[in-house]
Amino acid sequence: MTDLETRPAPPRADALRRAAPALLGFAAVRALGLVALALWSGARGTSAHTLLTARWDALWYTRVAGLGYGYEVRLPNGDVHSNLAFFPLLPWLERLGAAVTPLSYADAGLAVATLASLAAAWGIFAVADRVHGRRAGVCAVLMWAVLPVGIVQSMAYSESLFTALAAWSLYAVLTGRWVTAGALASLAGLTRPVGAAVVAAVWVAAIASFVHDRRAPAADGAPAWRRALGMLLAPLGAAGYVLWVGHHTGKGPLGYLDVQAGWRNGFDGGYAFARFVGATFTSFPSALAGVGLIVGVALVVWLYVVCVRQGQPLPLLVYAGVVTALALCASSYFGSKPRLLLPAFPLLLPLAQALARLRTPRSAAILGGVAVASAVYGAFWLNGSGPP
């Protein structure tokens, strides 16, 4: 139902036992992906460890952990790439991990991502199990694991950490734990700019709950002050960092937008992405890629429409909608859009439901085949020239 209906969560021990098949399956898929990456990298003479911990965004995060903010690179075309574009929670955890263990910043980031990916898988299961049942929950986790860009879940990137915080914040909303939901949303806002999607989900759900209470008091059994406190906590992380960047750069509250502009990144409603797709039709080989992009975007939009038609809970619809809009309507880094969509796990729930209706051998065969293809693609992708 799109109207918010909350009920208490099960005891933690029972919840872990219930999620165990999903977590074991997720770990197996991730192990397969890492084996494929190691074999492919070994054949090419590259280091799988370096690809996972010390290239592209992972390198920027470790620089923040080791050097703090203020590092920037000036490109020949005049663009300025500042590490202020990267939100601080992952670097903080990398620094903490390196302080309390023998790990380097990079390896601490990999450890954080590994643990966070398991937490994310558990959170996705908890949400899907609550909405559609245990079997659909297992299928949702496995489908998230076998996504073509699933190898990012094993990198020292912030996607796994963000997805874990987002999933558990949404679960807290669904179970009426508003203060927890707000606190986790605040942490998500310290992780990635798309933390705004979690904040929006908490706020819209809380407002809907207040409106529902006017018709039927105490709809979720939570005192109004808890919902209000959750709403207050939710934006603190993102707002705090953005305001700090503005103060640090001397450019005021919107200084973070200037930082993103230095990376040629912003929100243009999808205009630049549409131009990029259109430009692929200038030759036959690239036209095939253009068709693939159009099909991919159409699939994402169709899945969201199905989510709405199936009556997913309101916070899931708001969260998935904002994540999708921010990913598709950003003005740069078009090759990274699949990765930016990785946290939008509610889009997978209709497919998880369909898979859950199949007999176990058939669903296992489908997931197994897709897992192998995803592992091979991930190894190929990371050994390519551009960032994921």
d(CA 314, CA 322): 12
Residue 323: which of 305, 306, 309, 304 has the closest Cα? Answer: 304
Q: What is the pTM of this model?
A: 0.94
Helix or strand holding residue 350 (H, E): helix 349-356
CB 210 within 8 A of CB 227: yes
Question: What is the pLDDT at residue 8?
Answer: 60
Helix or strand holding residue 82 (H, E): strand 80-82
Residues written for the chain? 388
Q: What residue has token string 């390519």?
A: 384
Kindly report the number of other CB atoms within 10 A of residue 245's CB atom: 23
Q: Is residue 3 part of a domain?
A: no
Q: How many domains does the chain have?
A: 1
Q: Quick one: average pLDDT of 307-320?
A: 97
DSSP 3-state of 170 = helix
d(CA 383, CA 388): 10
Q: Is residue 120 part of a domain?
A: yes
Q: Quick one: average pLDDT of 35-62?
A: 95
Q: Is the predicted pLDDT of residue 222 greater than 90, yes or no?
A: no
Q: Quick one: average pLDDT of 298-302?
A: 95
Q: Is the predicted pLDDT of residue 211 greater than 90, yes or no?
A: no
Question: What is the pLDDT at residue 2?
Answer: 47
Q: Is residue 327 part of a domain?
A: yes
Q: Is residue 356 part of a domain?
A: yes
Q: What is the per-residue pLDDT across 186-200, written as a single tens digit (0 to 9) for each?
A: 999 999 999 999 999
Q: Is the predicted pLDDT of residue 292 greater than 90, yes or no?
A: no
Q: What residue has token string 């705090």?
A: 240
Question: What is the pLDDT at residue 7?
Answer: 58
Q: What residue has token string 């700090």?
A: 244
Q: What residue has token string 């990456």?
A: 37
Q: Is residue 2 part of a domain?
A: no
DSSP 3-state of 158 = coil
Tell me how far the alpha carbon of residue 76 is from its chain's centroid. Answer: 32
Q: What percent of the chain has pLDDT over 70?
A: 95
Contacts 24+ apart (CB under 8 A), 296-300: 296/338, 297/328, 300/324, 300/328, 300/341, 300/344, 300/347
Residue 228 to residues 3, 5, 169, 196, Cα–Cα distance (Å): 19, 18, 15, 18
Q: Quick one: average pLDDT of 158-185?
A: 97
Q: What residue has token string 């999933």?
A: 167
Q: Is the predicted pLDDT of residue 1 greater than 60, yes or no?
A: no
Token pair listed for 4: 């918010």
DSSP assignment, residue 330?
B
Q: Is the predicted pLDDT of residue 253 greater than 90, yes or no?
A: no
Mean of per-residue pLDDT scores for the chain: 91
Q: Quick one: average pLDDT of 107-131?
A: 97
Token pair listed for 336: 């990274």
d(CA 282, CA 221): 59
Q: Is the predicted pLDDT of residue 284 greater than 90, yes or no?
A: no
When mean pLDDT is compared across 120-124, 175-179, 291-295, the lowest value belongs to 291-295
Q: What is the per-residue pLDDT across 359-381, written as a single tens digit (0 to 9) for each?
A: 999 999 999 999 999 999 999 99
pLDDT level of residue 279 (50, 70, 90 thresholds) = confident
Higher pLDDT, 13 or 122: 122
Q: Is the predicted pLDDT of residue 255 greater than 80, yes or no?
A: yes
Q: Is residue 6 part of a domain?
A: no
CB 113 within 8 A of CB 60: no
CB 153 within 8 A of CB 193: no
CB 145 within 8 A of CB 25: yes
> Buried b / exposed e across 18-48, counting CB within 10 Å, b at 16+?
bbebbbebbeebbebbbebbeebbeeeeeeb
Q: What is the per-residue pLDDT across 107-116, written as a single tens digit (0 to 9) for each?
A: 999 999 999 9
Domain hosting 42: range is 12-382
Q: Is residue 1 part of a domain?
A: no
Q: Is residue 4 part of a domain?
A: no
Q: Quick one: average pLDDT of 238-263?
A: 93
